Amino acid sequence: MRESTGEWFVSSRGSGGMLNQLRHQICTSTGASNGQIMDRVIGLVKKYDKVDVSKVTETADFQKDLSLDSLDRVELVMAIEEEFSIEIPDEKADKLTCCADVAKYIASGSGSSITKS
């Protein structure tokens, strides 16, 4: 058992099987529908000053359509991780190119849950 330090940490119980299932159920069944997940993701993207909010759609490419550079995309992934209390591995984050990809990833339960001690 880990002492409470007030810091965020990734749960070390298994490779996330049970925690991912629980997070998936909370996110999609009892907590948020796919549409609500999408709305939250789009809302996060629209918060960036560099982004023309009129161009933000489910399928707008972060780099090509919204002109987010690599640092912007890293910051966006961090904001998504915080918003949904998940951790997205770098190799997966690189493949999330639009809001639809992000929402699908979150709804699938693929992210590792983060717990606060």
Catalytically active residues, by annotation: 69
Residue with tokens 């999609």: 28
End-to-end CA distance of the chain: 10
CA–CA separation, 7 and 58 (whole Å): 33
The answer to whether 90 touches 111, Cβ cutoff 8 Å, is no
The answer to whether 77 touches 55, Cβ cutoff 8 Å, is no
